Amino acid sequence: MATLLRLLKYVRPSAMLAVVTLALMFIATLIDLLAPWVLRKVFDDGISKNDMHMVLLLVLALLGLQVGKSLGNFVQGYTQELIGQNVVFTLRKQMYAHLQRLPFKYYDKAQTGQLMSRMTGDIEAVKNFVGFGGMMLVAGMATFVGTLIFMCSMQWQVTLLSLSPIPVLLLVMWMFSNKVGPAWGRIREQMGRLTTTLQENISGIRVVKAFASEGKEKSKFAGRNEQNFETNMHRARLEANAFPLMGFLGGLTFLIMIWVGAVYVANDKMSLGTFMAFQWYTWGIIWPLNMLGWQINIFQQALKAAPRVFEVIDTKVDIESPEDGGIDTANIRGVVKFQNVTFAFDKKDDEQPEDASKKEAAAASELELTQQETSAVLHNIQLDIKQGEVVAVLGATGSGKSSLIALLSRFYDVSDGSVQIDGIDVRDYELEGLRRSIGIVPQETFLFSASIRDNIAFGRPDATQEQIENAAKKAQIHEFIVNMPYGYDTLIGERGVGLSGGQRQRVALARAILMDPPILVLDEATASVDTATESAIHEGLLEVMKGRTTFIIAQRLSSIRRADRIIVLDNGRIVQQGTHRELNEQDGFFRRLLERQEMASASGH
């Protein structure tokens, strides 16, 4: 009931349309109820009295009623669809906007396929009920009640005898509703899993082919597809068992009416006109009851789909701007301080995603959860970074390098301590402005299915062509772009598939440079380019980094030679820091890494 009431709130903006639609429905219902009454008059007041003029008038009246009903149905059909589309539009808009606000930790767990399934199939199921099923349910109830009133006013004994199968029919419908609801819930979940499997395979098709795992992936998809097939067939068997029985009981109602009505006509207890009207009216009983089975189906689909949509919309956004809007970031200089920062994934972060099945959620052992609750990614980090300082961050995989930078942009919030920019806690800044003040070139480069120009100007869509080209030149990608068939207007395909890894990385670098942020983060920004290109990029970045606080996360020591300070992380702790020369003179991670890379360079690897 709570889900239904919440759905009705989305209909509220279309209240006038809903009133018009319901009014047209009731008018159409009234026409349906009047038509058999007019037919009764044709037989009893026209044919029986051989008054053909009366018959003609009544037939014209029937024609007028049908024309009026048809026009009403045309408008009603349009307004019904408009109401449904309005609800879909609002739900999709609200869900998409909320997805933009959800923090990184939600996407660390959420499955893309499940989100796509909810955004499309689940919302469509809601539309089918709001725009069609719900309205038709109201129309069916009005037709059923109105028909009973008209029939009882004509001959209540025949009416009651004709309706004798109805209690059994209602029992069948109640049993069907109780079974088909859970079935639709399983179908919605299975469809989400199937979509997830499909999305992952298409996104990772190059990996699949590289490891010759097509057969494995086909088997995996076949398994999901078979589960979806079996779940749908279970629902189909429920319908196959219920619908024919509903149809039989409805037809039985009609047959009883014919038999009882014929007996009453033969005994002069019912006129022939009333008997003919009863045949028409009986369909006003059978049609709503037969349609009720389909309406139950639509209703149950919506009741199972809507909570999956609301689950996303209701997900708490715990990283956002302060309630008062936050401090303006226009004058950020770039003085950064990590004050006793500790960061850990708490139990809530590490639970299974909300859209995971109960079986999947139970798969994590208590031991794993306990370890995740207590494991800190960063421990008591203390750093003071001056404006314009270039700081390199080194460390083995999993040492906490990327987490350190993620806290700076508030992709996550600290568990303890504070991250400050210009002496102000980042949690006190306006969030969008904070992130626009930090230009990031991520390790995993993502480009959109658009032109190269659009990708570079993603953060500054109002940038001029000259500004875009200057950013591309500094990223050492301009010459490549102008030699492409359409230059900056060249479409690069989904996820930048038309470019090499190094080219994608340089486009991403140009995108960050164009933002002109006071703080720049280069997370393995030159990992996918050769050493010659890397050297050229660094030469171009020298001007970019002037007066700009810069963080360089890198594995190649050649990338950090110009750093003012090098921070070495190990298991979330700072174990070394200093200049390149200072660290080279110390025995530790940095010197061992330097020696390994020098040996690799000497051996030609």
Q: Assign residue 212 the CATH number of its domain.
A: 1.20.1560.10
64 and 201 share a domain?
yes
Instruction: Return the ∠ at Cα 456 (arms to 451 and 459), rounded to 5°.
Output: 120
Is residue 365 packed enough to be buried (19+ CB in 10 Å), middle (13-18) or exposed (0-12)?
A: exposed
Q: Last residue of some domain: 313, 333, 352?
A: 313
What average pLDDT does the segment 178-188 reach?
Answer: 80
Model confidence at 364: pLDDT above 60: no
Q: Give the 3-state secondary structure of residue 553.
A: strand
Among 510, 521, 449, smallest CA distance to 478 is for 510
How many residues belong to the chain? Answer: 605
Res. 534: pLDDT tops 80: no
The answer to whether position 372 is within a domain reads no
Q: Helix (H, G, I), strand (E, B), or coil: what is residue 1?
A: coil
**pLDDT greater at residue 171 or residue 364:** 171
Confidence of residue 268 (pLDDT cuts 50, 70, 90): confident
pLDDT at 570: 86
Residue 405 counted as domain residue: yes
Q: Which residue has the tokens 């037809």?
A: 251
Mean local confidence (pLDDT), 559-567: 82
293 vs 394: which has the higher pLDDT = 394
Under the banding of pLDDT at 50, 70 and 90, the label for residue 600 is: low
Decide if pLDDT at 366 tops 70: no
Would you list the DSSP string of 155-188?
HHHHHHHHTTTHHHHHHHHHHHHHHHHHHHHHHH
Give the CA distances from residue 109 to residues 8, 350, 352, 359, 513, in Å, rounded to whole numbers and listed in that order. Answer: 31, 8, 7, 16, 31
pLDDT value for 61: 85
pLDDT (mean) for 102-124: 84
The answer to whether residue 145 scores a pLDDT higher than 80 is: yes
Let me know whether 295 and 409 are in one domain.
Answer: no
Same-domain pairing of 24 and 137: yes
* Model pLDDT, residue 537: 67
Residue 556 — very low, low, confident or very high, per pLDDT cuts 50/70/90?
low
If one compares 384 and 151, the residue with the highest pLDDT of the two is 384
Given a cut of 50, whether residue 359 has pLDDT beyond it is: no
- Inside any domain, residue 251: yes
Q: Can you give 291-306 as a three-state secondary structure string?
A: HHHHHHHHHHHHHHHH
Res. 604 pLDDT band, cuts 50 70 90: low
* Secondary structure (3-state) at 391: strand
The pLDDT of residue 533 is above 70: no
Residue with more model confidence, 593 or 88: 88
Residue 59 lies in a domain: yes
Q: Give dist(CA 483, CA 487) in Å, integer.
A: 6
pLDDT of residue 347: 52
Q: What is the mean pLDDT of the chain?
A: 81
Domain boundary among 283, 313, 343: 313
**Mean pLDDT throughout 83-98?**
89
pLDDT at residue 240 tops 50: yes
pLDDT at 337: 94
Same domain, 398 and 300: no
Q: How far apart are CA 576 and CA 567, in angstroms?
A: 6
**Residue 428: predicted pLDDT:** 94
Tell me what pLDDT residue 475 has.
84
Residues spanned by the domain of 536:
387-602
Same domain, residue pair 307 and 184 = yes
Residue 240, in any domain of the structure: yes
Please check whether residues 309 and 420 belong to one and the same domain.
no
Q: What is the largest CA-CA distance in the chain?
A: 121
Residue that finishes a domain, picked among 287, 313, 339: 313
With cut-offs at 50, 70 and 90, classify the pLDDT of residue 385.
very high
Q: Which of 150-159, 436-445, 462-471, 525-534 has the lowest mean pLDDT?
A: 525-534
Q: Confirm whether 328 is domain-assigned.
A: no
Q: Are residues 102 and 236 both part of a single domain? A: yes
pLDDT band at 367 (very low <50, low <70, confident <90, very high): very low
Q: Are residues 63 and 160 in the same domain?
A: yes
Highest-pLDDT range among 60-64, 338-342, 446-450: 338-342
Of the ranges 305-314, 349-358, 463-472, 584-593, which one carries the lowest mean pLDDT score? 349-358
Residue type, 214: E
Phi and psi angles of residue 379, each rounded to the nearest 5 degrees, phi first: -125, 115
Report the number of distinct structural domains present in the chain. 2
Three-state SS for 495-552 is HHCCCCHHHHHHHHHHHHHHCCCCEEEEECCCCCCCHHHHHHHHHHHHHHHCCCEEEE
- pLDDT tens-digit readout, 187-211: 878 877 888 787 777 766 666 766 6
The answer to whether residues 105 and 354 touch, using CB atoms and an 8 Å cutoff, is no
Residue 378 forms beta bridges with which residues? 343
**Are the C-beta atoms of residues 150 and 281 closer than 8 Å to each other?**
yes
Whether 180 and 239 have beta carbons less than 8 Å apart is answered as yes
Residue 104 — very low, low, confident or very high, per pLDDT cuts 50/70/90?
confident
- 559 pLDDT band, cuts 50/70/90, is low
State whether 172 and 54 are in the same domain: yes
Pick the closest to residue 193 from 91, 121, 123, 103 (CA basis).
121
Residue 299 sits in the same domain as residue 393:
no
What is the predicted pLDDT for the residue at 586? 84
CATH number at residue 405: 3.40.50.300
